[in-house]
């Protein structure tokens, strides 16, 4: 039941921002050859001398005796992600020109690689304990990395127990839906690529339905030790095309295809400067994108005053657009305000540029 990859189709959809990359738990491949799950089990044995933590291997969930035990395990899990995952795979993925990357783990390795390589991006995660904030519109120039199952640095956002899963499902299917820009990007996608998923896990199939990915899109996943019945179900129910290549080979091949096509993320000495991207946006009169890029950068730097300055500019830009759409502002006045916002952005970009040096 293996399929041949239509590389021309995938490359075309990546260029048009119609292809979404989804990353699962198996993407984190420890350097010693063991699976991340095996490392987690070893972590339990090290931490839980009295046998108070129960692990349900079939579904991958835990049962803790109290929140303190769960919080401590969350910390251990964070350290495990930092120490055991092979960074090479994240480096390769960071160069692929996807506009949207959704991770079904709380791992931050990909986000940190983007930051280390100074690649402009936005990052957000679903937190079942609070109402999701809106995210920037994903783009090739500033991709969105979205952690669907929490953030390993915020232990109460993690999905570690059955209760966590039920809380997550209750919230995401209730009043706390995914951000609008994320839902729109998923709706508009024509192609999806799954890496690092175990499709035999029942909640993975449920997540596909939550994301409304079951119909109308071309989906690729690599064929790794998936049983025949599960594969048949995924093919019939979700129209997933399973390919023979292993995960690493698929990523390497996609990297090479993007390189041949000339669409890999370009870097100068390994760095992509946000200031240069913002200058490009301003020159093209794409002020909304320039504002998003600046706000994302200052957020990563925890520059609260500069974040406030960008938010004020964002408000001015939105008010100007609203007046233009309503026809309640003269063309000359709109042009003057537009140029004032542009000059303010250029001044902010000077400060941003100094932080990059």
Quick count: other Cβ atoms within 10 Å of Cβ 354?
A: 9
At 316-334, the pLDDT tens digits run 999 999 999 999 999 999 9
For residue 238, what are its two tokens? 């979700």
How many Å apart are CA 14 and CA 21, to the nearest integer? 10
pLDDT at position 294: 87
Q: Taking the model in full, what pTM does it have?
A: 0.75
**Average pLDDT score, the chain:** 83
At 260-299, the pLDDT tens digits run 898 988 654 444 567 877 887 888 888 888 888 888 788 7
More confident residue, 2 or 136: 136
- pLDDT of residue 19 exceeding 90, the answer is yes
CB 348 within 8 A of CB 287: no
Sign of dihedral through CA atoms 5, 102, 113, 295? positive
- pLDDT of residue 97 exceeding 60, the answer is yes
At 115-126, the pLDDT tens digits run 888 888 899 999
Q: How far is CA 224 from CA 8, 197, 254, in A?
A: 24, 9, 18
Checking 274-277 for CB contacts under 8 A at 24+ apart, the result is 274/118, 274/120, 274/352, 274/356, 275/349, 275/352, 275/353, 275/356, 277/120, 277/141, 277/142
CB 230 within 8 A of CB 199: yes
pLDDT at position 115: 87
Mean pLDDT of 168-190: 89
Residue 25 backbone dihedrals phi, psi, to 5 degrees: -60, -30
Lowest mean pLDDT among 67-76, 123-132, 335-344: 67-76
Q: How far is CA 324 from CA 141, 321, 352, in A?
A: 27, 5, 30
Could you state, in order of their start, the residue ranges of all structural domains in the chain? 7-261, 274-356
Confidence of residue 339 (pLDDT cuts 50, 70, 90): very high
- pLDDT of residue 2 exceeding 60, the answer is no
Confidence of residue 149 (pLDDT cuts 50, 70, 90): very high
Pick the CATH number of 7-261 from 3.30.1580, 3.90.550, 1.10.287, 3.40.50: 3.40.50
pLDDT at position 179: 92
Write out the H or E segment, with its range, that includes residue 182. helix 180-188
CB 155 within 8 A of CB 161: no
């Amino acid at each position: 039941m293996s399929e041949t990859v239509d590389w021309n189709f995938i490359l075309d959809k990546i260029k048009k921002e119609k292809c979404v990359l989804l990353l699962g738990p198996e993407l984190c491949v420890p350097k010693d050859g063991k699976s991340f799950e095996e490392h987690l089990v070893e972590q339990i044995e090290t931490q839980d001398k009295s046998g108070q933590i129960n692990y349900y291997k079939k579904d991958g969930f835990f049962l803790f005796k109290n929140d303190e035990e769960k919080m401590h395990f969350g910390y251990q899990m964070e350290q495990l992600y930092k120490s055991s995952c092979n960074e090479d795979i994240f480096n390769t993925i960071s160069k692929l020109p996807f506009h949207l990357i959704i991770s079904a783990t709380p791992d931050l390795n990909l986000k940190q690689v983007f930051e280390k390589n100074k690649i402009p991006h936005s990052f957000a995660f679903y937190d079942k304990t609070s109402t999701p904030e809106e995210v920037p519109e994903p783009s090739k120039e500033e991709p969105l990395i979205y952690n669907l199952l929490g953030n390993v640095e915020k232990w109460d956002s993690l999905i570690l127990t059955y209760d966590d899963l039920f809380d997550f499902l209750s919230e995401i299917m209730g009043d706390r839906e995914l951000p609008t820009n994320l839902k729109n990007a998923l709706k508009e996608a024509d192609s999806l690529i799954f890496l690092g998923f175990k499709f035999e896990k029942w909640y993975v199939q449920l997540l596909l339905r939550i994301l409304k990915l079951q119909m109308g899109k071309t989906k690729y996943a690599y064929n790794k030790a998936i049983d025949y019945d599960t594969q048949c179900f995924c093919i019939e129910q979700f129209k997933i095309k399973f390919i023979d290549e292993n995960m690493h080979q698929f990523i390497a091949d996609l990297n090479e295809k993007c390189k041949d096509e000339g669409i890999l993320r370009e870097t100068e000495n390994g760095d992509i400067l946000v200031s240069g991207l913002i200058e490009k946006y301003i020159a093209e009169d794409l002020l909304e994108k320039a504002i998003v890029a600046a706000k994302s950068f200052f957020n990563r730097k925890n520059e609260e005053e500069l974040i406030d300055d960008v938010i004020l500019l964002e408000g001015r830009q939105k008010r100007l657009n609203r007046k233009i759409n309503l026809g309640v502002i003269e063309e000359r006045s709109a042009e003057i305000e537009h140029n004032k916002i542009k000059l303010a952005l250029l001044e902010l970009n000077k400060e941003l540029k100094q932080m990059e040096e």
